[in-house]
């Protein structure tokens, strides 16, 4: 009878965590971008910004 030596599975101290995706460079991880508010027919830029969804990460904040 041949005995097959079973190697025990290596025990890991901590479960493997999924890799953390790098933060979005456009919104720096916030998921939102601020754009200047344009008013009037000439699209004059006023001293105000509005928050918008980041077009690169769609609000997730990661690439
Ligand atoms: Zn983004």
The pLDDT, as a whole number, for residue 41 is 94
At 20-49, the pLDDT tens digits run: 889 999 889 899 998 888 899 998 988 888
Query: Is the pTM here over 0.85, yes or no?
Result: no
Structure tokens at 14: 């901590």
Q: Are 9 and 3 in contact (CB under 8 A)?
A: no
Domain contains 42? yes
Domain contains 2? no
Tell me how far the alpha carbon of residue 3 lies from the centroid of ligand 1, in angstroms.
57
Three-class DSSP category at 13:
coil
Domain contains 30? yes
Domain contains 1? no
Domain contains 4? no
- How many independent structural domains does the chain possess? 1
- Domain hosting residue 43, numbered range: 21-63
Domain contains 60? yes
Mean model confidence pLDDT for the chain: 86
Tell me how far the alpha carbon of residue 52 lies from the centroid of ligand 1, in angstroms.
10
How confident is residue 4, by pLDDT bands cut at 50, 70 and 90? Answer: confident
Domain contains 51? yes
Tell me how far the alpha carbon of residue 25 lies from the centroid of ligand 1, in angstroms.
6
């Amino acid at each position: 009878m041949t005995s097959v030596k079973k190697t025990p599975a290596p025990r890991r101290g901590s479960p493997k965590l999924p890799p953390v995706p790098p933060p979005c460079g456009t919104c720096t991880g916030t998921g939102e971008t601020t754009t200047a508010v344009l008013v009037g027919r000439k699209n004059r830029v006023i001293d105000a910004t509005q928050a918008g969804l980041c077009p690169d990460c769609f609000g997730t904040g990661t690439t």
